[in-house]
Amino acid sequence: MVSTPDTTPTLPPRIAVIFPGQGSQVVGMTAELAELYPEIQDTFAEASEALGEDLWAICQNEEKLNQTQYTQPALLTASIAIWRILQDKLDKAPHYLAGHSLGEYSALCASGVISLKDAVQLVHKRGQLMQEAVADIDTAMAAVLGLEDQRVETLCEQATEHVEGAVVGAANFNSPGQVVVSGNAVGVSAVIDKVQNTGKKAIPLKVSVPSHCALMQPASNALAEALAAIKFEQPTIPVIQNRHAQVETNIQDIKKALTEQLSEPVLWSKTMQELADKHINILIECGSGNVLSNLAKRQANPIASYPVDKPARMEKLMEVLS
């Protein structure tokens, strides 16, 4: 039997680079890449000088790495270090960038909107503001699995209305059937009970602050002041922002979206759909771990996603692109 060669046309790559957020940090992140690429240590040195903290040392210290004000600049630095490696390896710039929560700052830095120096100082401040906003409040977050987005929102509304003192809302729409809720402990506990009554799962998350909920409003107001003092440039690559899952081009609109993002939900499923609608067929996860690549598999229109935080993963991407 004579075999017929495969003549299926291969679509040219349309690439988006996505940047992970808080929760993707691991002790020793980027250490393997640092053995091969001087960009890693160079970037960490640059960011550490800007912050006045040894971010590389912080990445080796689990207790300090998991403190929000250090987690955020450490993750951003890791993402930008890997981004600098990618820039040398890609034939041309990606079509789009996007970042999950904190990762949005990495995306804007990669697009030239904000310098690395300003970015690490800003997210360090952001982490401090988030901690201060809930310093005297017992808070929580939980991942709700198996329920539609609207159903989770309804359960949050019911908890807020009927449980005394409850503050809770949908924080991250990560993928169909996965929504993270955020608020005070009373509110999140009430939602967990309601979810379990439906027969579905709600898993408490280990976090130090409840991101993207009404409790972050004081931090959002203070962040707006910090953003006003920083010079932003026009993006060199379009960035799809979390607030409305769309590209903002006006500098004031970019800053406004960042400000509101702190107390409003991350529309990640909608962001992924937007990339699918723009015919993106390859995602590169630029940062620590593969959280976003795993989420990409669960979207309504999945896009192949490749993490590049280790040499073997970087090599795999290069094989795919070649």
Question: Please, which residues have CB within 8 angstroms of residue 203's CB and are 6 or more apart in sequence?
Answer: 142, 143, 145
Please tell me whether residue 81 adopts helix, strand or coil conformation: helix
pLDDT of residue 7: 40
pLDDT greater than 60 at residue 8: no
Q: Token pair for residue 4?
A: 């017929």
Domain ranges of the chain: 15-133+215-321, 139-208
Residue 247 to residue 241: CA distance in whole angstroms: 6
Could you read off the pLDDT of 138-173 as tens digits, one per residue?
999 999 999 999 999 999 999 999 999 999 999 999
Query: ∠204-137-105 over CA atoms, to 5°?
Result: 70
Q: Is the dihedral of CA 247, 22, 204, 263 positive or negative?
A: negative
Superfamily the domain 139-208 falls into? Malonyl-CoA ACP transacylase, ACP-binding (3.30.70.250)
pLDDT of residue 145: 98
CB 197, CB 152: distance < 8 Å: no
pLDDT of residue 4: 44
Q: Which of 212, 269, 288, 305 is catalytic?
A: 212
pTM recorded for the entire structure: 0.95
Written as one letter, the residue type at 321 is L
Residue that wins the pLDDT comparison between 269 and 8: 269
Report the DSSP beta bridge partners of residue 229: none
Phi and psi torsions of 178, nearest 5°: -140, 110
**Confidence class for position 1, pLDDT limits 50, 70, 90:** very low
Rounded average pLDDT over 162-187:
98
pLDDT of residue 262: 96
Distances in Å between the Cα of 56 and the Cα atoms of 19, 104, 108, 245, 257 are: 19, 21, 22, 32, 30
DSSP designation for 266: B
Residue 84 to residue 81: CA distance in whole angstroms: 5
Asked about 212 being catalytic, the answer comes back as yes
Question: Please, which residues have CB within 8 angstroms of residue 318's CB and are 6 or more apart in sequence?
Answer: 89
Residue 84 to residue 86: CA distance in whole angstroms: 5
Rounded average pLDDT over 246-251:
96
Q: Which of 24, 48, 101, 211 is catalytic?
A: 101
Q: Which residue has the tokens 């729409």?
A: 173
Residue 303 to residue 281: CA distance in whole angstroms: 6
CB 202, CB 143: distance < 8 Å: yes
pLDDT greater than 70 at residue 206: yes
- The verdict on domain 15-133+215-321 having CATH code 3.40.366.10 is yes
